[in-house]
């Protein structure tokens, strides 16, 4: 698609406006969202994402629209995994339910900023170095193996390096002071566990950005589609957390499903890298003619079916535990 600087500016401005509205309308006043509130806003943001994809199809054609939908589905699935780790972090730091909205909002904004940086870097690399497709393909295959090897068990994110360093150099209070990041105790300023929670989530966002950006670049090389797929996947993530936080623990096959998706996109990227090959020690630096290109419609169907199978299998697996 031909995207002018004005379209980029408007898109980024509208994205920022949505997050500013979210903060002032919902997050600034600490409260635990009801199921009804979370469901309404989740439906709104998902509908908005679908309408945007349809508008791409109408204006630019259904091939880029298919790339957008495949990217959006992949990013939404990875975001669910992200939410699961957020849940572990907030449980580890015992964040009161009423203050979790603020932590989530900050975490989502950090994620969008980090992904924006990776998107720009990825676009520059792809534009100038075709070998980066090989790098992304290998990275995705390694990440897929890591998902399988972890068996859905994440290392304790409350004990990562950044959190340990913060505890060493900063005085940390044992108690929360509402949703503040710093508080005054015994005549001295101390940071609250709220700040450590945000530090942990920021580190997690960096790790997940390394997963998500190569994955979506495996489906499209258009940075605008990559950015909008990520932005729409992150919009409404806060509400989705409160809507499905109880369900997240039942998605026991989510990691396996994500591993299959990442491996599939890794293979797709590898085939594309061979198709546009310029690496001198592979086929003499010429494109490999027999390397097929996996069509975007197949990618979209494969990703959708994989997510559906992983979800249904998880719910069936855990149904007996819930009924007891």
Helix, strand, coil distribution of the chain in percent, nearest 5:
75, 5, 20
Give pLDDT < 50 ranges for the chain: none
pTM recorded for the entire structure:
0.81
pLDDT recorded at residue 157: 64
For residues 267 and 225, give the distance between their C-alpha atoms in angstroms, rounded to a whole number: 21
Tens-digit pLDDT profile for residues 121-142: 888 888 777 788 888 888 889 8
Count CB atoms within 10 A of the CB of residue 269. 26
pLDDT recorded at residue 229: 93
Q: Spell out the residues 6+ positions from residue 148 whose beta carbon is closer than 8 angstroms to its own.
A: 255, 256, 259
Residue 191, SS3 per DSSP: strand
pLDDT recorded at residue 101: 83
pLDDT recorded at residue 298: 92
Burial of 14 (0-12, 13-18, 19+ CB in 10 A): exposed
H or E element at residue 142: helix 132-150
Q: What are 152-161's contacts with CB under 8 Å, separation 24+?
A: 152/252, 152/254, 152/255, 152/256, 154/84, 154/85, 154/88, 156/88, 156/92, 157/85, 157/88, 157/89, 157/92, 157/200, 157/203, 157/204, 158/89, 158/92, 158/93, 158/196, 158/200, 160/200, 160/203, 161/203
Tens-digit pLDDT profile for residues 285-318: 887 877 788 888 899 999 999 989 988 998 888 8
pLDDT recorded at residue 100: 84
């Amino acid at each position: 698609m031909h995207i002018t600087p004005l379209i980029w500016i408007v898109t980024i401005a509208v994205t920022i406006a949505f997050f500013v509205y979210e903060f002032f309308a919902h997050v600034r006043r600490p409260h635990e969202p009801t199921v009804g509130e979370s469901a309404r806003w989740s439906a709104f943001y998902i509908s908005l994402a679908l309408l945007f994809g349809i508008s791409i199809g109408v204006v630019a054609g259904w091939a880029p629209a298919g790339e957008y939908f495949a990217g959006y589905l992949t990013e939404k699935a990875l975001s669910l995994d992200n939410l699961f780790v957020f849940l572990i972090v907030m449980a580890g730091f015992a964040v009161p339910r009423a203050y979790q909205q603020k932590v989530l909002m900050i975490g989502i904004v950090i994620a969008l900023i980090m992904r924006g940086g990776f998107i720009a870097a990825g676009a520059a690399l792809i534009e100038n170095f075709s070998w980066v497709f090989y790098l992304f393909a290998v990275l995705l295959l390694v990440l897929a193996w890591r998902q399988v090897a972890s068996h859905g068990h994440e290392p304790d994110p409350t004990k990562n390096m950044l959190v340990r360093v913060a505890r060493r150099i900063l005085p940390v209070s044992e108690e929360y002071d509402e949703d503040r990041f710093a508080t005054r105790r015994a005549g001295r300023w101390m940071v609250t566990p709220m700040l450590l929670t945000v530090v942990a989530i920021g580190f997690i966002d960096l790790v997940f950005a390394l997963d998500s950006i190569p994955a979506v670049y495996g489906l499209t090389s258009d940075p605008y589609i990559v950015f909008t797929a990520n932005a729409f996947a992150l919009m409404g993530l806060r509400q989705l957390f409160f809507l499905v936080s109880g369900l997240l623990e039942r998605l026991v096959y989510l990691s396996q499903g994500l591993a299959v998706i990442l491996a599939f996109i890794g293979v797709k990227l590898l085939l594309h890298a061979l198709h546009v090959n310029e690496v001198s020690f592979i086929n003499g630096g010429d494109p490999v003619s027999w390397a097929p290109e996996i069509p975007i419609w197949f990618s979209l169907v494969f990703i959708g079916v994989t997510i559906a199978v992983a979800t249904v299998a998880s719910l069936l697996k855990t149904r007996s535990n819930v009924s007891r």
